[in-house]
Structure 1
Amino acid sequence: MPSSPPANAPVPRHLADLQRLAESIREGHSSLRFGRRSLAVLTALIESPQSTAVASISELAQRLDVNPSTLTRLAQRLGFNGFGELQGVFRREVADGGEHFYSDLAAKLSTDQDEGKGVARLARLGRQESANFAALLHQLEAGTYDAVVELLATGPRVRIHGQRQFASLAQFMAYGLGMLRADAAELDAGRQGVADALAQLDAGDVLVVVSCFPYTTSVLETAKVAAKAGIRIIALTDSESSPLSRVAEHRFLVPNDSLFFSNAMGAFFLLAQGLLTEVADRLGHEGLAALRRREKMIRELGASL
């Protein structure tokens, strides 16, 4: 049976304390005794601190394929009153707004070298992205997916908004959707500023927002203001605990754990491709006509250059 900590044992207060304790348990130097499964769960939490900090206990349990009660018991064995206290260690670690998020992920590359670099690491990245996408599919609700496709296809105006690396995803979605229908674009495509761009939208228009930990404050505030104005919000984010989840009418929770030194993008782009493919099918002849008009313009511009 796994043991409980001695009454006078210090409770870990920092992530580094948890890391040292896990290593001590693994090597048999600690008074705590964990089974193989419990130790694997603790290790998984430590290796994904940003996900552990922001996800709910149910989300983490689903991701780790355990019951929520397993996480509660794990926290108690470590000396915490419950899982919330254990999660507080991770939240304090990332409470600086992700100041060390990217460098911490990059630092893991040096400890990963024992598993091989180059093509071997690329293969591991691919497996991780496949696992992220499989986890996304596992918790995806068909009703939400279909409702979002309908909004993207028929919303009066559709805007896509993302910053930092998610600007590339916003551009991709806006480009693809713009191939199929009118009045679909990035929110700030004209560089006139977000306030002016939002002012051009009405209640009932659609705004797709994309961000995950460490969340971009401007994207969060844009989503809040838009929601107050009656604009329908679709969020691509990472957790039920994400600030975007709280303001979105529809949300997709996209796993993004990876060796990559930032948020993994593979599952996000596959989700976007899937949504756009369904929009093309939903629009039928209308979407086909839009593609043909685009092709005609490309031919005419090509002939004139």
Structure 2
Amino acid sequence: MPADTPVLPPRRYADLQLLALRARDGDVPELKLSAKGVALLEALLAQPEAVSLSSISQLAQRHGVHPSRLTRLSHALGLEGFKALQTLFRDDLSDSAFYSTRAQRLLEFGETPRAEGAELADDRMLWQQEMQNLSAAVEALDTAQLARAAVAIQRARRVHVVGLRASFGAAHYLAYYLDYLRDGVQLVSPQAGVSVEQALRLGEDDLVIGIAFRPESRMSVDYCRLAVEQGASLLALTNHSASQLAALTELTLLAPAEGAFFFNPMSSLFMLVELLLSRVARDMGHDAVLALRQREALISRLHVE
């Protein structure tokens, strides 16, 4: 069977994409979908994260349809029901083709922002969407959770910060400046020879700060899960409340990352890290100032540039 032949029922997210593209041109006669049904399928494909994380009622409300429409769409695709359709989206978000699939839907389903006659329209639209992520992070910020997180960081005997792949930059930033404020901070990095087994040394007086966006790094999740099993506390920084990290703890801070980006937008995550660092420093008061002065004095003495 040729690689570009539509498959019914679809077995992968890529099959859904191909079906939608061919159905748009009327090239799949065996697919009994109306124009509205095709439009609904395309709308779902343009927002795979929302489909994978929402209930059928939430998704129906988001698209202005009755939940039965989603069930009928699933049956028209040859699937047993909405859960089977949702599984295709969830599997895609967890596999190694996450970014290429996102790029394909941005290009083929028209989600990449366009505006006639505006040379910088795409860039400005992305900037606006990132600003919306920043605003959403602030509006949805649970200040009680932020306060609890700051207290947990100060009271912990040791703090391990783990965030790999795309999240490593934020993890390094957080660990670097936390080390200015307190002792016992360690950045978990395979490059530094730190492996999952290091979590075995953690106990109930320790804290792990796990950072992971979809697709979540398996090592990050495994490290956090093992730490929790050892009795350590976990602070999760993620872009969705249904993440694997969030499922491991009651202490979660969310950094929304929506929009037509080829890769994960990170501005809201770094802002969240800055808010967390500022809260810790503010709570520490003069102790934070003293810690910073000691570090600056050492840097000066060692002529570190």
Stretch moving more, 259-268 or 171-180: 259-268
TM-score (normalised: structure 1): 0.77
Structure 1 residues 118 and 177: alpha-carbon distance in aligned structure 2, compared to 1, 3 A threshold: farther
Question: In 2, distance between residues paired with 1:65 and 1:135?
Answer: 22
Match of residue 86 from structure 2? 87
Structure 1 residues 70 and 135: alpha-carbon distance in aligned structure 2, compared to 1, 3 A threshold: farther
Is the Cα–Cα contact under 8 Å of residues 157 and 205 in structure 1 kept in the other structure?
yes
Q: Secondary structure at the match of 1:235?
A: strand
> Deviation per CA, 1:32-87, whole angstroms, max 9, x where unpaired?
547xxx96x7655321224422x1328x94xx894699562441352557643442
- 1:98 and 2:109 are equivalent in the alignment: no
Question: In 2, distance between residues paired with 1:267 and 1:237?
Answer: 10
Structure 1 residues 103 and 209: alpha-carbon distance in aligned structure 2, compared to 1, 3 A threshold: same
Match of residue 141 from structure 2? 140
Structure 1 residues without counterparts, runs of 5 or longer: 1-9
Is the Cα–Cα contact under 8 Å of residues 203 and 227 in structure 2 kept in the other structure?
no
Match of residue 4 from structure 2? none
Match of residue 67 from structure 2? 72
Match of residue 210 from structure 1? 211
- 1:57 and 2:60 are equivalent in the alignment: no
Structure 1 residues 19 and 210: alpha-carbon distance in aligned structure 2, compared to 1, 3 A threshold: farther
AA in 2 matched with 1:280: A
Once the two structures are superposed, the pairs formed by residues 172-191 of structure 1 within 5 Å of their partners are 172-188=173-189, 191=192
Question: In 2, distance between residues paired with 1:128 and 1:198?
Answer: 37
Q: Percent of aligned pairs with the same residue?
A: 26
TM-score (normalised: structure 2): 0.77
AA in 1 matched with 2:34: S
Match of residue 34 from structure 2? 31
Is the Cα–Cα contact under 8 Å of residues 75 and 86 in structure 1 kept in the other structure?
no
Is the Cα–Cα contact under 8 Å of residues 19 and 46 in structure 1 kept in the other structure?
no
> Deviation per CA, 1:115-157, whole angstroms, max 9, x where unpaired?
4797433222221212223333343322212111111222221
Question: In 2, distance between residues paired with 1:73 and 1:137?
Answer: 35
Root mean square deviation, CA, Å: 3.5
Q: Which has the higher contact order (CA 8 A, sep 6+)?
A: 1
Is the Cα–Cα contact under 8 Å of residues 160 and 187 in structure 1 kept in the other structure?
yes
Structure 2 residues without counterparts, runs of 5 or longer: 1-7, 27-31
Structure 1 residues 21 and 240: alpha-carbon distance in aligned structure 2, compared to 1, 3 A threshold: farther
Match of residue 277 from structure 1? 278
Structure 1 residues 219 and 189: alpha-carbon distance in aligned structure 2, compared to 1, 3 A threshold: closer
Is the Cα–Cα contact under 8 Å of residues 200 and 226 in structure 2 kept in the other structure?
no
